[in-house]
């Protein structure tokens, strides 16, 4: 019996993730780019050309708009900014409101924005907060990077099923459809069929930058406006599970509030 317990301990994770206390940043990740915390922020408009997805717009030397739903977190704009932009390590980029991921900075300070929650999301939360949900994933013309992270979300470390989120083989048995990739022409109909087959009330979840905005490609036709947008190329497993918990109402989170708090703390320390 002792030997069996020793074997179990070998394969047991050294540290279980606590999704209740998890912060929005990760010190080992590049994260989204943000204005430097140094005083005297100014950015040249030419830096727009560096962004491979067009997710960066410079309105003036003091005003910049980031579409974090189109951001690959590649760091190219930071490298070309002469110290005016920084990698933040902020990786929890998700919202039920697409516009919340579009952030306008004025002199390095993000503009205020109140996240809007649709009636469908409110209804979805009512039926899933205590019971969780099952989803069918559709690989819609992506490179399978997001699928690899989704697979990892079910391992012993991230343990998606402990958060009452499970993947199923058929949309007939699902509460939501999760899709990854920019939805190429050949995947528009399969995604639509998966959505139509899923019984309601239901949710459509865009997982990864390509699903949210198309990323490097033009995004194809969707069955409807997604109910949850998860940025990142690809998003980390802990981010995916956290976003699902947020969609269910098990996690209190506002991307804009957390980002503003993060920026304020950085500036106070500089």
For residue 99, give its domain range: 33-112+254-269
On whether residue 101 sits in a domain, the answer given is: yes
Whether 21 is in a domain gets the answer no
Residue 25 lies in a domain: no
* Residues 258, 146: Cα–Cα separation, whole Å: 24
Query: How many independent structural domains does the chain possess?
Result: 2
According to the model, what pLDDT value does residue 21 have? 83
Give which of 37, 92, 84, 30 is closest to 56, Cα–Cα: 84
- Is 26 within the bounds of a domain? no
141 & 244 share domain: yes
146 and 215 co-located in one domain: yes
Whether residues 127 and 198 fall in one domain: yes
CA 57 to chain centre: 21
> 55 to each of 71, 134, 216, 242, 259, how far by Cα in Å?
6, 32, 10, 24, 17
What does the alpha-carbon distance between residue 18 and residue 26 come to, in Å, rounded to a whole number? 14
Tell me if 185 sits within 8 A of 246, measured CB to CB. Answer: no
Looking at the fold, whether 144 and 241 belong to one and the same domain comes out as yes
* Sheet strands (E) in 15-74: 33-35, 56-60, 63-67
Q: d(Cα 141, Cα 144) in Å, to the nearest integer?
A: 8
**162 & 211 share domain:** yes
pLDDT at position 19, please? Answer: 85
CATH code assigned at 140: 3.40.50.12280
Digits of tens for pLDDT over the chain (270 positions)?
A: 556 555 545 445 445 688 888 899 999 999 999 999 877 788 889 999 999 999 999 999 889 999 999 999 999 999 999 999 999 999 999 999 999 999 999 999 999 999 999 999 999 999 999 999 999 999 999 999 999 999 999 999 999 999 999 999 999 999 999 999 999 999 999 999 999 999 999 999 999 999 999 999 999 999 999 999 999 999 999 999 999 999 999 999 999 999 999 999 988 876
Whole-number pLDDT of residue 38: 79
Residues 192 and 244 in one domain: yes
pLDDT score for 41? 83
Q: Are residues 88 and 74 part of one domain?
A: yes
Do both 165 and 49 map to the same domain? no
Q: Which residues pair with 168 in a beta bridge?
A: none
Task: Please tell me the predicted confidence (pLDDT) of residue 3.
Answer: 63
What pLDDT, on the 0 to 100 scale, is given for residue 10? 46
Report the distance separating Cα 174 and Cα 134, nearest Å.
Answer: 5
Q: Compute the distance between CA of residue 132 and CA of residue 130 in angstroms, rounded to an integer.
A: 6
């Amino acid at each position: 019996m002792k030997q069996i317990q020793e074997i179990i301990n070998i394969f047991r994770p050294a540290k279980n993730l606590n999704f209740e206390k998890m912060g929005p940043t990760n010190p080992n990740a590049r994260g989204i780019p943000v204005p430097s915390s140094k005083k005297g922020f100014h950015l040249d408009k030419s830096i727009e050309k560096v962004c491979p997805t067009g997710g960066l717009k410079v309105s003036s030397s003091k005003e910049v708009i980031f579409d974090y739903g189109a951001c690959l977190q590649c760091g190219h704009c930071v490298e070309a900014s002469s110290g005016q932009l920084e990698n933040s390590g902020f990786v929890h980029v998700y919202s039920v409101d697409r516009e919340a991921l579009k952030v306008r900075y004025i002199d390095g300070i993000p503009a205020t924005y109140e996240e809007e929650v649709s009636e469908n999301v409110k209804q979805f939360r009512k039926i899933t907060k205590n019971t969780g949900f099952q989803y069918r994933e559709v690989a819609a013309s992506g490179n399978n990077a997001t699928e690899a992270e989704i697979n990892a979300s079910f391992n012993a470390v991230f343990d998606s099923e402990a958060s009452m989120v499970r993947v199923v083989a058929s949309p007939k048995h699902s509460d939501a459809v999760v899709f990854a990739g920019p939805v190429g022409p050949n995947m528009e109909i399969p995604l639509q069929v998966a959505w139509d087959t899923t019984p309601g009330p239901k949710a459509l979840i865009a997982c990864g930058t390509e699903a949210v905005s198309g990323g490097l490609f033009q995004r194809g036709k969707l069955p409807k406006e997604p109910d949850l947008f998860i940025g990142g190329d690809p998003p980390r497993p802990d981010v995916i599970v956290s976003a699902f918990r947020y969609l269910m109402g098990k996690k209190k989170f506002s991307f804009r509030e957390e980002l503003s708090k993060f920026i304020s703390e950085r500036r106070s320390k500089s």
